[in-house]
A and B are shown apart, each in its own frame.
Chain A
């Protein structure tokens, strides 16, 4: 009986916690929407005139202002923007005259597939490399891997991308330069993004595993006669996962939000390239939509990663809710 009551109370607390998190998430998304709304009012001078360029007639400017609703009072504009957000509408593109949301959702699958490919490639390299570096800590292999990882972290995508094109497409003629038509065209952009992911995660895997390997419980396992590899696999490995998972989740979040530079280099038709193109065409409603969409995906992925990390490490969750065993 008593146990049952305690369980109900615990479930209630859990539910209240989830509700509070959902509420703060909603508030955060609304504030992001507000910030993005005011973005267009930062355009120096008249946004409508800026969109149409120098040769526009005053009549055209006034018509566009009316179309965008920029001739209405700011509070009214704000209410209709937020009202649109709640209904899932991000406004209408000036250029294509189509709903912004639809255009973004059409571009998202390309971003998603690129993010998954880059993330998988990064993990495939980072986990073995990080584990080897941790086991051989201080030896030549470790130093070499750390230097390579540091070089990887220091190589921006706009350097590695063109170099990959130079090597694999131009010199060796193995892979397509850009676009998304050929099945192999995902290889170079994924490798470019994956390089950064692999370098960051290798450092993280190494540091996290090394920290766990140095703890007394691993020594105790060794003293009981377990082999070094066995102790690491059975004990340290599991405890090393949550911190890596958090960083990996953040990485995946930023990959998923459209790798602006990489998509531009390889003409990959995702959300990041849509954003850059809309900026070049001064399609401000589209820019606003892309920025807010990317932020929303990022925030939601991070919230999911937090929940996953809490589920994997109940000790941290218990500390947070202030409850002992």
Chain B
């Protein structure tokens, strides 16, 4: 969804995106569509335990085999998509909203508020990679909502830096001065005058962030700090299948491959968007650990 939203760039550039980027967009559309479809199927298909049918290899009946508790790997993959992509999407949405608004207001207002946001950004950046998310998830306890909060706690920073830089550039332009002279208040200036003019780079940042958020969610779930186990997320499936990697590699390979394809597609599409719209200036941190 967020990818489709970032596509005004295509209209602006007139020439279509390169083929790999279009293939990537199609794959992502399929992944998000199946995540949505999974929400309408009873969850029992992915959580029903059948110990008689443990670790069956891929075949005609369960197309991707079964896992260590006899659950259908394909069904879990689809439900995992809705959990992984849903949590990642929510984390991106919360990060983008909070970060953009903080950055825009800080850039427009300046002064003490700007300095305070700047200090907060520095503080969050002192915690590398997943560290802040791991720490927060650890104390808040594992749940989907807490995972979103933990990811957004550091996820808002690139948006805030980008929005602040863009807001400072735009807010010195005449039409913003005119709006101020006409008596427009802060919310109106930020939402009606600044936001529409800085939305492009913010959307590119969001498109790039999706891959990082999917990886981070899976990493947290893998460590047992994300979505709690009966619910299938791709990270949970990876962690569960790891002990059976010798006798039943398909249990690990299915979510691993799904994760790889979705993240690769997001990166390919993100690279194409960056090339189209120019680099994201204030820069995002790559997902590590």
Q: Kindly list chain B residues whose C-beta atoms are within 8 Å of the C-beta of A162.
A: 238, 242, 245, 252, 256
A280 and B224 contacting across the interface, CB-CB below 8 Å: yes
CB closest residue in chain B, given A301 = B128
Q: Which of B97-132 contact A (CB under 8 A)?
A: 119, 122-123, 126-131
Q: How many residues of A contact B (CB 8 A)?
A: 51
A158 and B235 contacting across the interface, CB-CB below 8 Å: yes
Q: Which of B28-36, B136-144, B174-182 participates in binding chain A? A: B136-144
Closest beta carbon of chain B to A86's beta carbon, Å: 18
A317 to B236, CA, bound (A): 47
A58 to B172, CA, bound (A): 61
> Measuring CB to CB, which residues of chain B are less than 8 angstroms from any residue of chain A?
119, 122-123, 126-131, 134-136, 138-141, 211, 215, 218-219, 222-225, 235, 238-239, 242, 245-246, 249, 252, 256, 259-260, 263-264, 267-268, 271, 285-289
CB closest residue in chain A, given B266 = A154
B246 and A39 contacting across the interface, CB-CB below 8 Å: no
Check A202 for interface membership: any CB of B closer than 8 A.
no
Check A264 for interface membership: any CB of B closer than 8 A.
yes
Q: Which of A241-261 contact B (CB under 8 A)?
A: 250-251, 253-254, 257-261
With beta carbons under 8 angstroms apart, the residue of A42, A150, A257, A299 that contacts B140 is: A42
Check A94 for interface membership: any CB of B closer than 8 A.
no
Q: Kindly list chain A residues whose C-beta atoms are within 8 Å of the C-beta of B223.
A: 260-261, 264, 276
B138 and A279 contacting across the interface, CB-CB below 8 Å: yes
A254 to B131, CA, bound (A): 10
Closest beta carbon of chain B to A32's beta carbon, Å: 5
Q: Which of A5-42 contact B (CB under 8 A)?
A: 28-29, 31-32, 35-36, 39-40, 42
A162 to B286, CA, bound (A): 22
B289 and A32 contacting across the interface, CB-CB below 8 Å: no
B131 and A257 contacting across the interface, CB-CB below 8 Å: yes
A151 and B139 contacting across the interface, CB-CB below 8 Å: no
What per-residue 1/0 map shows which CB atoms of A266-305 lie under 8 Å from chain B? 0000001001100110001001000100110011000000
A28 to B285, CA, bound (A): 19
Check A1 for interface membership: any CB of B closer than 8 A.
no
27 residue pairs A–B, Cβ–Cβ below 8 Å: A28-B122, A32-B123, A39-B135, A39-B136, A42-B139, A150-B268, A154-B211, A154-B260, A156-B215, A156-B218, A156-B219, A158-B235, A158-B238, A162-B245, A162-B252, A170-B246, A200-B286, A254-B129, A259-B288, A260-B219, A261-B219, A261-B223, A276-B223, A291-B127, A291-B131, A291-B134, A294-B128
B256 and A163 contacting across the interface, CB-CB below 8 Å: yes
Check A129 for interface membership: any CB of B closer than 8 A.
no
CB closest residue in chain B, given A196 = B288
CB closest residue in chain B, given A264 = B223
A279 to B131, CA, bound (A): 12
Q: Kindly list chain B residues whose C-beta atoms are within 8 Å of the C-beta of A257.
A: 128-129, 131
A254 and B128 contacting across the interface, CB-CB below 8 Å: yes
CB closest residue in chain A, given B216 = A156
A151 and B126 contacting across the interface, CB-CB below 8 Å: no
Check A190 for interface membership: any CB of B closer than 8 A.
no
Q: Contacts A153-B286, A170-B245, A261-B289 given: A44-B140 contact, CB under 8 Å?
A: yes
| A159, A251, A294: most-surrounded residue (chain B CB, <10 A) | A159
CB closest residue in chain B, given A32 = B126
CB closest residue in chain A, given B256 = A159
A156 and B263 contacting across the interface, CB-CB below 8 Å: yes
A8 to B128, CA, bound (A): 38
With beta carbons under 8 angstroms apart, the residue of B134, B286, B287 that contacts A260 is: B134
B140 and A254 contacting across the interface, CB-CB below 8 Å: no
Q: Kindly list chain A residues whose C-beta atoms are within 8 Å of the C-beta of B140.
A: 42-44
Closest beta carbon of chain A to B270's beta carbon, Å: 10
A73 to B20, CA, bound (A): 60
A261 to B135, CA, bound (A): 14
Q: Kindly list chain A residues whose C-beta atoms are within 8 Å of the C-beta of B271.
A: 150
